[in-house]
Structures are given as structure tokens and as C-alpha cells.
């Protein structure tokens, strides 16, 4: 596979052979960069409504268990080439999560699907827990 620098741009560094550790960046005329091994294009932001504090805490615990240090109601965390941003408003119970970068070969559909599954899992678990506490199971 051959990568070419877009007209009017310059290669920022040289590349090793495909399959070895990436070390090349190419700038494109639209301002984007391709960094071999990762993407600089963010995935679509996901917005979840009706997220209780308990549900958000569940999600944060799952993220930490998977090595992604989420703390507080907003911020960014990076692990293994994935950078995730989040913003949680406990008053409105709105959670926004966005993958800002991911490894080059991992499409946004996979990343956003995994995020959605984790949020959905915590929302269902917490709903069952609250139903059990109220005796309405």
C-alpha cells in the first residue's frame, strides 16, 4: 500500500514499512492529519438522557475497571490510542460521550457501539437495583 502526500502539503516525517510501529504523519489540504496507527477524526458525539448519578457512577466504575481513568463529571481520558471525552450534568441527567481519537483500524461504529452498550448495561443494572429496593420486582 502506498500513501501519498496531498498536493500542497508536506510529509512531516518518514514512515517505516507497513506493519511496523507507525511513525509517520501526513498533513492534508483540508487541515486534517493522518497519523499512521491512529485517526485524528472524532466519532459522532453520543448524548444519553435520563442518566441518574448512580448510573453515571456505574459507567465510571466500568471505565476505570477497563483502564480508562474517568473521574469527575467531565474531562478526557486516553488509553491504548483511544481518547474519550465526557460531560455529565447531574441536574439535567444528560451524559455526552465522544471518542476524540481511536486506532486507525477501529471504525467509529465499533467504538460508539461499545460506548452505547456500556451505558445501556449500567442503565439497566441500576434500574433493576432500584426496582428491587422498592419491592416492585
For domain 46-133, give the fold. Answer: TATA-Binding Protein (3.30.310)
Round to whole Å and give the CA distance between 87 and 80.
21
Q: Report the pLDDT value the prediction gives residue 98, as an integer from 0 to 100.
A: 95
Q: Report the pLDDT value the prediction gives residue 127, as an integer from 0 to 100.
A: 73
Round to whole Å and give the CA distance between 32 and 42.
11
**Better-scored residue on pLDDT, 55 or 5:** 55
Round to whole Å and give the CA distance between 127 and 5.
52
pLDDT of 26 strictly over 50: no
Domain ranges of the chain: 1-36, 46-133
**Predicted confidence (pLDDT) per residue in 51-79, tens digit:** 999 999 999 998 888 888 888 999 999 98
Amino acid at each position: 500500500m502506498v500513501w501519498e502526500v496531498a498536493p500542497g502539503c508536506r510529509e512531516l516525517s518518514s514512515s517505516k514499512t507497513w506493519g511496523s510501529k507507525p511513525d509517520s504523519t501526513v498533513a492534508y489540504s483540508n487541515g486534517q492529519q493522518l497519523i499512521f496507527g491512529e485517526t485524528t477524526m472524532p466519532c459522532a458525539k453520543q448524548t444519553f438522557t435520563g442518566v441518574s448519578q448512580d448510573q453515571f457512577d456505574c459507567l465510571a466504575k466500568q471505565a476505570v475497571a477497563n483502564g480508562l481513568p474517568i473521574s469527575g463529571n467531565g474531562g478526557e481520558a486516553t488509553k491504548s490510542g483511544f481518547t474519550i471525552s465526557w460531560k455529565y450534568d447531574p441536574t439535567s441527567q444528560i451524559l455526552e460521550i465522544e471518542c476524540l481519537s481511536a486506532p486507525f483500524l477501529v471504525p467509529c461504529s465499533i467504538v460508539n457501539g461499545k460506548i452505547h452498550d456500556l451505558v445501556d448495561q449500567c442503565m439497566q443494572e441500576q434500574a433493576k437495583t432500584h426496582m428491587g429496593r422498592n419491592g416492585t420486582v
